[in-house]
Amino acid sequence: QCYLFYVRWKYKTYNSLLIHFSDVPKDTKVLVSPSGPVQEGTNVVLKCSSDANPAVQIYTWYRADPQHETLIHTGPDLTITASRNTGAFLCQAQNDLGTGRSNKTNIDVQYVPKDTKVLVSPSGPVQEGTNVVLKCSSDANPAVQIYTWYRADPQHETLIHTGPDLTITAARNTGAFLCQAENNLGTGRSNKTNIDVRHVPKDTKVLVSPSGPVQEGTNVILKCSSDANPAVQIYTWYRADPQHETRIHTGPDLTITASRNTGAFLCQAENDLGTERSNRTDIDVQFAPQILSSSNCTKAAATVSCSCSTVGNPSPRLQWYLDGLSVNHSDKVDISSESLNGTGLRSTITVNLPQKLDLSTLLCHSRNSVGSTSHQFYFYTFEQQTPAFGQGQGMFPAFITTVGVLLILVCVLLFVIRTLKTRPTHPSTVTMNQLLDGNDEVPSATERNIYANTNVLSQEHETTPGDTNSLSDNAEGGKSSENKQGGGEVIYSSVIWKSKKEKKKEDRDDARPSCSYLEEERCMMGDVCKDFVSNAIDMGNQYDDREHKTAKEVECEYAQVKYKVKSTNNQ
């Protein structure tokens, strides 16, 4: 625009020309106060400056993010609080002719290290033994000057390295790490970083609940514990017998009922990388004492020695009692003990027998904290006849008594044997062909034969009562006895027994008056057995009482006695 002015004075007139130009806002910029770096949290005033004609009518403020701009304020001034993420700002000036914009203005906000963290390479799970690089990252203004690395154990932290990077060899016990970043304004720490190290199960063990000793019959839970990455997939339980192992269960827990023969257990943990087994675990099962059947006594001379074996858990204590009174080791009583496999005890006691005739008792009593039991031994003792004598002489009366008893038993045995030999019912074993010839009758198999020899007088048919008593069994194994008086003749007789009811009629009618034929009847009546001799005119009547027998019915038998005279020269 162009303007012409006239100025007139009193004496003179002046002419003036004024030219005026108009345009949009130019040289628009942001003025920061205070200028330069500012600490985080400081108030900062931003002023928008622009050259415009006509003057700027509207000022607009924008936050200049990387992707877009955000209108945040209108007016020539903008007051902010400085922070590390304050970002950039710009302003816009506007008049009637147009607008003008400033450049982006960044606020130099200084702050301590922030967003400190550990970057792991390679990332993700790694096998045990792999080299791993750890890098410390942090956002700081001014930049970080010192990096420090720590091993973050559960109880404390250990400084292990300085510098932005840390290289380690991965192991299952590598643990956790953290880094610290430091600048002029302060420090910032990362969180704990764990390395995902894969390994087979390790430190496998059995945990027992309840722990410690348990009573017999208690339910006990066994838990298999193992350190593994990846986690254990299969748990297997084994009964660890001395000779072999038996698989009994699968799963992390095993429940058993405690008993004295429970034995030992072990577990096996398995994951994708391998397996590991625990050590054998024994359950401490407590039970009351038990006395073993091997406990016994032995007796020798005037002493008795008894052994008592007992088992229990806790290991039992053992006490001896003699006739109800407790006894301990002394000069007269010898007591010794020995351990049996830790939970057993064997005690041996040797005592002198009491000097009286009586039944003595020796009691073995075993006890522990769980219970007690007893076992009683019995033995007889004998009184000494002469206490004034020595101990060795006191055995003489007993020896005499024993010998007397043995002699009586021998006499009774001889009497019984003699009685059995003289019984008439016992058959002899002489063969018949030595006595019978010609037409002599041979007895049947059911008849009992008795052969006897005797001395007779020179008269062939003379017999006295005294001669009949000399008949005796004198043949054994088919041989006849020989008369030792010279010149005498030997008579052999055959006695044939038959039941009277079987006797033939002609035999009964054929009664020979000669004494070469003797018919003898034997009858059993009730409890008394007697022999009757009939048809013995020249001999008279003889009765011979034999042994008594018990008979339920009457039975009669007879005998035929045939005498045959032979000369002794034929013997």
Q: For residue range 275-288, what is the model confidence (pLDDT) as tens digits?
A: 999 999 999 999 99
Rounded Cα gap, residues 7 and 381, in angstroms: 172
Residue 233, pLDDT > 50, answer yes
Q: Who has greater pLDDT, 526 or 360?
A: 360
For residue 447, give both structure tokens. 């008849």
Instruction: Report the pLDDT value the prediction gives residue 9, as an integer from 0 to 100.
Output: 57
CA distance 388 to 30: 140
Model pLDDT for residues 389-418, shown as the tens digit of each residue: 333 434 555 677 888 888 898 898 888 888
HSE-up (13 A, CA, CB side) for residue 366: 27
Indicate whether 145 pLDDT > 50.
yes
Q: Residue 469: is its pLDDT beyond 80?
A: no
Domain at 111-195, CATH from 3.40.50.2300, 2.60.40.10, 3.40.630.30, 3.30.390.10 = 2.60.40.10
409 or 563: which leads in pLDDT:
409
* CA–CA gap between residue 564 and residue 492 (Å, rounded): 5
**Range in 116-120, 461-465, 500-504 with the lowest mean pLDDT:** 461-465
Structure tokens at 256: 């058993």
CATH classification number, 291-381, choose in 2.60.40.10, 3.20.20.70, 3.30.470.10, 3.30.43.10: 2.60.40.10
Output the pLDDT for position 3.
53
- Peptide bond before residue 54 is cis, with ω within 30 degrees of 0: yes
**Burial (0-12, 13-18, 19+ Cβ within 10 Å), 311:** buried
- What is residue 324's predicted lDDT score, i.e. its pLDDT? 86
Q: What is the DSSP letter of 17?
A: E
Q: Where are the alpha helices (DSSP H) in 55-118?
A: none
Local confidence band at 327 (pLDDT 50, 70, 90 cut-offs): confident
C-beta separation of 90 from 69 below 8 A = yes
> For residue range 438-460, what is the model confidence (pLDDT) as tens digits?
344 444 433 344 443 434 333 33
Q: Does the fold of domain 199-283 match that of domain 111-195? A: yes
Residue 447 to residues 494, 502, 562, Cα–Cα distance (Å)? 12, 11, 15
Task: Say if pTM beats, i.e. exceeds, 0.75.
Answer: no
Q: For residue 105, what are the contacts with CB-CB under 8 A and spacing of at least 6?
A: 30, 32, 46, 88, 89, 90
Categorise residue 10: left if φ over 0, alpha if ψ from -120 to 50, beta otherwise. alpha
Which has the minimum average pLDDT: 161-165, 262-266, 406-410, 445-449?
445-449
Residue 391 or residue 330, greater confidence: 330
Residue 118 burial (10 A CB sphere; 0-12, 13-18, 19+): buried
- Classify burial at 193, counting beta carbons within 10 Å of its beta carbon; exposed 0-12, middle 13-18, buried 19 or more: middle
Q: Alpha helix (H) ranges present in 329-482? A: 396-421, 465-468
Alpha-carbon Rg of the chain, whole angstroms? 68
- Average pLDDT of the residues in 416-434: 57
- Does 463 have pLDDT greater than 80? no
Q: Give the pair of three-digit tokens for residue 559.
A: 């005998």
When the pLDDT of each residue in the chain is averaged and rounded to a whole number, the result is 75
- The rounded Cα 334 to chain-centroid distance in angstroms is 35
Average pLDDT of 120-129? 92
CA 148/CA 168 separation, integer angstroms: 15
Domain 23-107 grouped into CATH 3.40.50.300: no
Does residue 471 or residue 148 have the better pLDDT? 148
pLDDT band at 237 (very low <50, low <70, confident <90, very high): very high
Q: Can you give the pLDDT at residue 567?
A: 45
Query: Which amino acid, 342?
Result: G
pLDDT digits (tens, 9 = 90+) for 358-392: 557 889 999 999 999 999 987 665 443 333 333 34
Class level of CATH domain 199-283: mainly beta
Residue boundaries of the structural domains of the chain: 23-107, 111-195, 199-283, 291-381, 386-421, 432-570
Is the pLDDT at 432 greater than 90? The verdict is no
